[in-house]
Amino acid sequence: MSARRQRGAALLVAIAAVGLIAAISVELIEEVRDEIRLTEAFRDDFRARWAVQAPVAVVIAVLQADEDKFTGLTETWATLKETMDLNGVPVVFSVSDESAKINPNALAEGEASLRDRTADMMKKVFQAKNLNERLVDYLWDWVDTDSDSRTSGAEGTYYKTLPISYPVKNRALDTLSELHLVQGFTDKALKELGFRDRLGTPDLNQSDWLTVFSDNKINLNTADPLIIRNLIPGVPDVFVNELVARRKVEPFESLDDIKTLTGMNDELFNQMSPMVDVDSQYFSIHSEAVVGRIRKRLTVVLKKGEKQVRIVYWRLS
């Protein structure tokens, strides 16, 4: 082989070697970058997961220190700042009294008269929110223990005719996420009932109007005026307005205190009192933390007892 050919062959080998080294280097760089991204994601996930839980500890401490026998909007739990900064990680959170909301399980629990009153109240609230009152009957048939469909309700026959059939529950709701199984509870209806929008889909962990965590009684110190106004027929507007104005200054400490309000009388009080209270046991916390590309959302429900506050529901997503 001539010297020229040998030099040419050597050059080709060198070029090929350089190309191979360059290719290997690019692959190694990409692998290193992937490792860095994974490490950063793990770190950010850990920081977000840690930060999003911080409000829970704060609320537990506040409730643990509260010895009042009433629950109102002027108390510490309701006036906590809704933002925290934990070593550079911003956390947004809110605390809610679950007894300020309607518990659909009251449709199937307690005395028949109270179940009927709950249904009437729910229908009026649904109507005020531009929802068909038949939704209440659908829900009533879902949670009651019998198989008899109400005139406007839906029992097993309806659910068996669906493309993907499933049985009616005929038991109390365990979580609000079950509502999407009930006839008529579309995404639109659920959003009207205070379920927060998450990328076009209602987040079934959080509702401003409904709960499954309460003793089925409405807290007059915290409930929306729309609910109070429709608890029973004949609740005067003047009573509701005066109640809301007074509780902004100081919570009602006993149920008997509402007897002093304008428009209240013994007949109304006797009808309303089995459905209401001025104290609460259940409180929900919704918190969110973002670190880099990692977003964590946490929903927690706490039950306040006489001696301790414990967690009864926890969902991290």
Q: For the domain that residue 173 is a member of, what is the CATH number? A: 1.10.40.60
Q: Is residue 140 part of a domain?
A: yes
| CA angle (189 as vertex; 187, 194 as ends), nearest 5 | 95
Q: Is residue 298 part of a domain?
A: no
pLDDT tier, 37 (very low <50, low <70, confident <90, very high otherwise) = low
Q: Is residue 151 part of a domain?
A: yes
Q: Is residue 175 part of a domain?
A: yes
Q: Is residue 161 part of a domain?
A: yes
Rounded mean pLDDT of 161-186? 91
Q: Is residue 302 part of a domain?
A: no
In the numeric block, the tokens 């050059």 are attached to: 11
Rounded mean pLDDT of 175-183? 93
Domain count, the chain: 1
Residue 124 belongs to what domain range? Answer: 109-196
Q: Is residue 266 part of a domain?
A: no
Q: Is residue 26 part of a domain?
A: no
- For residue range 80-131, what is the model confidence (pLDDT) as tens digits? 989 989 888 899 999 999 999 999 999 998 889 999 999 999 999 999 999 9
Residue 200 CA to residue 258 CA, distance in Å, equals 42
- For residue range 125-157, what is the model confidence (pLDDT) as tens digits? 999 999 999 999 999 999 988 776 666 666 667
169: left (phi over 0), alpha (psi -120 to 50) or beta: alpha
